[in-house]
Amino acid sequence: MLEIILSCIIFVCCISICFLVAYVIDSIKEQKKYYKEQETDHLQKLLQCQRDETYQAIELYEIYKKEIDRLKEQIQELEKKETEELKSQPSKIWSDEMKYNGIYEGKKALIGNYDNFSADMTRKILRNFGLSVERVKTSTDLLEKAKINHYDIIFTNNIYQQGVDGPTLLKQLRELEGFNTPVVIHTISTNQRYHFVDDLGFYEYIEKPIQIADIERVLKKFL
């Protein structure tokens, strides 16, 4: 009799354990399903956020591109107007007068010079030779311009108030992929052509104050 009772108890325990195991397994499955649903929902929200950010970035890019195009058109119109003025009236370059000579029309120059008067004079000479000219005040800005735009010739200071000096800038420019633009240094240092051209590797060296003949010589050599 005792054996029968003991067998029944063991049977009931086994059944209970089976039910408990089944319950635990079902609970684990439910938890996995819940977490999977939560994960899916989270991923969907994350993807939606990424899509929204992408759309916003595209919209901002389009706005930025339109603004850049608008500014470029304005600059072109201003240059056309300036060209007509240069053609109609000689420019005063130091003690000389310079008539417009558009021999290098279609070419682009970049000037790096923090001194407004010196930069304006250089720009005026280049514009009279027909070049389109952009000017920046720091070596950092010059490097950034060179990264995204093509120029036919670059004029740089030896010393800048902000950013690296001219020789260091030249090294940075040469590290840019595909960069082969002539870089001319203009400086107050006198009789230093050998140092700047032969030692440091600048294409040409011009002493300040820059003269018409200096610019003409350089343009003939490289353009």
CATH of the domain at 168: 3.40.50.2300
User: What's the pLDDT score for residue 70?
Assistant: 83
27 domain-assigned: no
**Claim to verify: residue 158 and residue 52 sit in the same structural domain:** no
User: What's the pLDDT score for residue 37?
Assistant: 64
User: What's the pLDDT score for residue 47?
Assistant: 73
**Claim to verify: residue 189 and residue 149 sit in the same structural domain:** yes
207 domain-assigned: yes
Q: Which amino acid is at 173?
A: L
Q: Which amino acid is at 125?
A: I
Q: Which of 71, 89, 107 is the last residue of a domain?
A: 89
Residue of 99, 94, 109 lying closest to 146 (CA atoms): 109
**Claim to verify: residue 139 and residue 206 sit in the same structural domain:** yes
**42, burial (CB in 10 Å: exposed 0-12, middle 13-18, buried 19+):** exposed
**Claim to verify: residue 107 and residue 208 sit in the same structural domain:** yes
**Claim to verify: residue 75 and residue 98 sit in the same structural domain:** no
Measured between alpha carbons, how far is residue 19 from residues 14, 22, 142 in Å? 9, 5, 77
Spans in the chain with pLDDT lower than 70:
1-24, 26-27, 29-39
170: containing domain:
92-222
Q: CA–CA separation, 189 vs 182, rounded Å? A: 20
Q: Which of 62, 89, 116 is the last residue of a domain?
A: 89
User: What's the pLDDT score for residue 21?
Assistant: 61
To the nearest 10°, report the CA torsion of 96, 102, 103, 104.
100
Residue of 165, 177, 161, 149 lying closest to 202 (CA atoms): 165
User: What's the pLDDT score for residue 65?
Assistant: 77
Handedness of CA 11, 13, 14, 15 (dihedral sign): positive
**Claim to verify: residue 128 and residue 194 sit in the same structural domain:** yes
13 domain-assigned: no
User: What's the pLDDT score for residue 129?
Assistant: 96
Q: How many domains does the chain have?
A: 2
**Claim to verify: residue 75 and residue 120 sit in the same structural domain:** no
User: What's the pLDDT score for residue 79?
Assistant: 84
**Claim to verify: residue 174 and residue 137 sit in the same structural domain:** yes
Q: How many residues does the chain have?
A: 223
DSSP secondary-structure letter at 186? E
